[in-house]
Amino acid sequence: MTDARTPEPPAASPGAEPVPGGLGLTHEVGTSLRLTYRGRPLTRYVYGPWDAQLESPRPYFHPLRTLGGDAVTIYRPHDHIWHKGLALSLPNVDDENFWGGVTYRRGTGYRQYDNNGSMDHVGFPELTLRDGRLRVTETLHWRAQGGEHRFTEERRLVAALLPGEDAWALLFRTAVTNVRGRRTVIGSPTTEGRPNAGYGGLFWRGPRDFTGGTVHTPGGSGGDELMGVRAPWLGFTGRHDGHGRSSTLAFVDAPGNEPGGSGVRWFVRSTPFAAVCPAPFFDREVTVEDGATLVRAYAVVVADGDRGPAGTQALALAGAALLAEEHREIP
C-alpha cells in the first residue's frame, strides 16, 4: 500500500524572494545546526543541549522531518523525558549512564544514581555544505557525572538527498576512544539480566501517532515480535494524526560493524511507543581497552508515504549505497 509522497512547495508570488533549492544550513553558534529543504525545516541537530544532568545531556536530532514536512520524532516524552528524537545513547557504560534517568543493575533493577554522564561538544573540525551534501565532523568529550573524562569521540554526520529527491538520508559514524586509563565495559539492561531490554546505541523515538506502526525487515513485516532480530536493516512505517498520511524510515547497519559479519541485533518497539535502535550491546558486553577506539556507522533514510516491504527495502539499499560511498572518504 502506498499513499501521497513528497508534496511540491507552492509557487512563489511575483516579486517574492525565490524559494531556495535543495538543502540549506543555519548555524546557531553554540547551540545547534538547522538543516532545511527548499527553505523549510528538515532537522535540527542540537549539539549544545540545555538538559538537566538527570537527562544525560548529549547531542540529538529533533525534529526529524520528511521532505514533505512531517515530523517523525518526539522530544522529552512524559514517560521517558531523556528520550530526544534521534541520539546516540548508552545506558550501561561500566558504572556510568549516558542514556539518562535510571540505571538497571543486576540484583537491584532500575534505580536512580548520581551517574548520569554527558557528551560535551568540543568543536567542529569540519562543517561544510557543498554539492548538495552536508558534512560535519564533531569532537566530543564523554564525561562522568563527577567530571571524569571517559571517552573522546569523533563523530561524522552526512546529510544528503537521495536520487530523485524523493527521500533523504542521514549518515551517522561514531568513533569513541577510551581515555579513562583502564578498560571500560559497555553493556545494556539485558546484559544485566533484564530480558529484551538490550537498548543502547543510535536510538530513535517516534512520535505518539506512530504507536502500533509496522516494522519491516528483509524477512518480512510485523511488530513487537521482531524485538532482537538480526538483520542488515530495519524499517518502520507510521501514520500521522491530523492528515492521515504515512512516513517510512529505514535504518541501516554498516557492513563490518559487528565481528564476523553476524549483523546487529535490533531493539524495536511498535507498542507502547515507536522506537528503533541498532543495538550492538543487546545481549553481549563489549570491552574497550584503554586507548582503543570503538567505531560504528549507520544510515537513517527518511521518506514520505507508506513504502511497504519492497519500498522500504529500496530505501535501505539506497542508504547502504550512500554509506558505502561516504565511507571511502571517511578514515
Q: What pLDDT, on a 0 to 100 scale, did the predictor assign at position 2?
A: 47
Closest to 235 measured CA to CA, from 321, 312, 318, 323 = 312
- Residue 294 and residue 152: Cα distance in Å, rounded? 11
Q: What pLDDT, on a 0 to 100 scale, did the predictor assign at position 260?
A: 76
Q: What pLDDT, on a 0 to 100 scale, did the predictor assign at position 327?
A: 75
Q: What pLDDT, on a 0 to 100 scale, did the predictor assign at position 304?
A: 98
Distances (CA, A) of 267 to 224, 241, 295, 330: 10, 25, 19, 27
Distances (CA, A) of 200 to 101, 233, 278, 294, 319: 14, 17, 8, 14, 22
> For 28-61, what is each residue's pLDDT tens digit?
999 999 999 999 999 999 999 999 999 999 999 9
Q: What pLDDT, on a 0 to 100 scale, did the predictor assign at position 331?
A: 46
Other beta carbons less than 10 A from residue 328's beta carbon: 6
Which residues 6+ apart lie within 8 Å of 148 measured at CB?
180
- Residue 121 and residue 119: Cα distance in Å, rounded? 7
Helix then strand then coil, in percent of the chain rounded to 5, is 10, 45, 45
- Residue 88 and residue 99: Cα distance in Å, rounded? 8
171 phi and psi, to 5 degrees? -100, 140
The model carries a pTM of: 0.94
pLDDT along the chain (331 residues), means of 10: 55 73 95 97 98 98 98 98 98 98 97 98 97 96 98 98 91 98 98 97 98 97 98 98 97 91 92 98 97 98 97 96 80 46
